[in-house]
Amino acid sequence: MTNRSRRPTAKETQRVNTAADRERKRASGGRLIAVGDIHGYSEALRGLLEAIDPKPDDTIVTLGDYVDRGPDSAGVIDLLIDLAKTCRLVPILGNHDQMFLDVIEVDSPDMYRDWLSYGGTATLRSMGIDHPEDTPRRYRLFLNRCVDYYETESHFFIHANYLHDQPLKRLSVWVMRWESLRQRVPGPHFSGKTAVVGHTAQKNGRVLDLGYLKCIDTYLYGGGRLTALDVDRNHLWQTDAAGTVVYSGALNGEVAARKTAEADAASPSPESETQDVTAENDDTTA
């Protein structure tokens, strides 16, 4: 018979006290930082975390899609497991993470084939396994502990999308994890909070900033960048796939920095200049 009134172990007490202490510290001045879609690029994440230099009073919210496509999904999750020992980590579940959990738990050839087409082969390879059911326990635990969304008094964080007139707890899995901003750009949320999302790849490498909505998936898996945003201070960090910091500064300042670098590198013809602007404004391309 289970003893429901048992006293917590010392380890459990320490874990609860540590989490509570981190929450108190963040309320008194710690940073609130969101990280965009990682997709198996552990070196990009490693370089980003070194640039951020997390402290115990910081809260880091990762927006999901830890696995698939990139070469080291296992390494990404290992880094996040370690990060949770340094600061408060809030991992959100992305659609790729959901697909991975589904093929682990459900024996469906069609589902498995679909997952492989989304980059699942790279995930298996990184974990040194041939079949999803052989996924190491620590990776299953991490993904199963991911949340659907996270809210503060001023912001909410979710992987894909939301409905402007609905509480987050009422959203469907389709909206939360799958619906692209290319399919539907929502209006400001009725709560008045700023939305921070990923999922819809910004192929120009820039954060999509609508004021009430910021999308920080900057197309790392396609040659873009991994982005982190301090949402209170509007400070941005970006790394490339190798983990090199390519930008650290004010949100939207990366636009001016990139244009300056491009101008120094070449003087485009009027035709190519028009093409650049067209590509640059293609903010909702998934």
Per-residue pLDDT tens over the stretch 186-244: 999 999 999 999 999 999 999 999 999 999 999 999 999 999 999 999 999 999 999 99
Asked: is 26-280 a CATH 3.60.21.10 domain? The reply is: yes
| Maximum CA extent, the chain | 78
Task: Give me the residue spans of the domains in the chain.
Answer: 26-280
Distance from first CA to last CA of the chain, Å, rounded?
52
CA angle 180, 181, 182 (to 5 degrees): 85
Q: How many CA atoms lie within 13 A of 180 on its CB side?
A: 10
Residues 28-66 have pLDDT tens digits of: 579 999 999 999 999 999 999 999 999 999 999 999 999
pLDDT of 257: 56
pLDDT of 252: 82
The pair of structure tokens assigned to 246 is 């390519």
Tell me the C-alpha distance between 89 and 82, whole Å.
10
Q: What is the mean pLDDT of residues 5-13?
A: 42
Distance of CA 125 to the CA centre of its chain: 22
Residues 6+ apart with CB under 8 A from 25: 56, 57
Q: Higher model confidence: residue 272 or residue 191?
A: 191
Whole-number percent of the chain with pLDDT over 70? 78
Is the per-residue pLDDT at 129 higher than 50? yes
Instruction: Report the predicted TM-score, pTM, of the whole model to 2 decimal places.
Output: 0.82
The pair of structure tokens assigned to 227 is 């982005």
Q: Give the 3-state secondary structure percentages of the chain, helix then strand then coil, rounded to 5.
A: 40, 15, 45
Give me the chain's average pLDDT, please: 86
Is the per-residue pLDDT at 166 higher than 70? yes
Tell me the C-alpha distance between 267 and 101, whole Å.
49
Q: Residue 103: which of 94, 114, 91 has the closest Cα?
A: 114
Q: Residue 174 in 3-state DSSP?
A: helix
Taking residue 23's Cβ as centre, other Cβ atoms within 10 Å add up to 14
